[in-house]
Structure 1
Amino acid sequence: MIFVALTLSIAGMAGIAFWAYRNVAPGADRLPMQWSTTGTVNWRAPRLIAIAAAPVLMLALIGLIFVFSRDDHAERDMALLWISFIAPALQAMHMALVARTVENEE
């Protein structure tokens, strides 16, 4: 069951990334990656890196979980379950913040 949730999560994140690449600030070469506490953009990344960052980080984290919890399957499954729910939500939130920031700048 955990692998079904993980597969759906990865597919969902790929879908969010494809949608965001086409629809979020299509004319912008660089997208916001970090905001200060006052709401100003601290730094921007090239478009492809900004959109692919969350899925790549999720895949790296999945790999680390498999490496470091290979002896405890219950711990591994719980960590993967949490990641499969949290990562797509964080990616969607990041893309929503990017869209809002770019829209407000125009």
Structure 2
Amino acid sequence: MAMFGIALFFGLLLCGLAIRANSRFRREDRLPMQWWLTGDVTWSAPRVLALSFIPALAIGVLAINAALAMNLQPRPGQEGMVLPGLIGTGLLFLVVQHLHFWLIEKTLHRGDG
């Protein structure tokens, strides 16, 4: 049950950050979603879709990981890695979401968005 609690915590945290970012980027109709190596935006999405993509993906991945952790036995010797793996996955999604916000902010200030 703790696995679903951790997955829920990260899901709610990511949703809260997306809601906060929605108010920060409220003047923009579309936000960049992908950049080329030169920094040029290759495609964008409507603001709500762009901000909800990472939380939706994270909720799905974390829920599947939590369900698998509760229903399947880990390999011998890896029993202690399930909880840190789930927390690491949640933290990775937080880092990716912050990176996405930073790239959006940088692009909008540059005027390419």
Normalised to the residue count of structure 2, the TM-score between the two structures is 0.77
In structure 1, the residue matched to 2:19 is 18
3-state DSSP of counterpart to 2:20: helix
Q: Hey, what's the Cα distance between the residues in 1 that align with 2:107 and 2:52?
A: 18
- What does 1:7-86 align with in structure 2 at a 5 Å threshold? 7-24=8-25, 26-69=26-69, 70-72=72-74, 74-86=80-92
Contact kept in structure 2, 1:31 and 1:46, CA below 8 Å: yes
User: For the residues of structure 2 that align with 1:71 and 1:59, how far apart are their CA atoms?
Assistant: 22
CA contact (8 A) 1:2 1:81 kept: no
Q: Share of identical aligned residues, percent?
A: 25
Runs of 4+ in 1 over 4 A off after TM superposition: 1-5
Is the CA contact 1:65–1:76 (under 8 Å) kept in the aligned structure 2?
no
**C-alpha deviation, 1:22, in angstroms:** 0.2
TM-score normalized by the length of structure 1:
0.82
Counting matched residue pairs gives: 105
Larger mean CA deviation between 29-38 and 83-92 belongs to 83-92
Q: Which has the larger radius of gyration?
A: 2
Residues 70-106 of structure 1, C-alpha deviation per residue, up to 9 Å, x if partnerless?
3226454232111121111210110111111112117
Task: List alignment gaps of at least 5 residues for structure 1.
Answer: none
Contact 1:31 1:47 in 2 (8 A): yes
**Which moved further from structure 2: 48-57 or 79-88?**
79-88
Name the Cα RMSD after superposition: 2.3
C-alpha displacement at 1:12, in angstroms?
A: 2.1
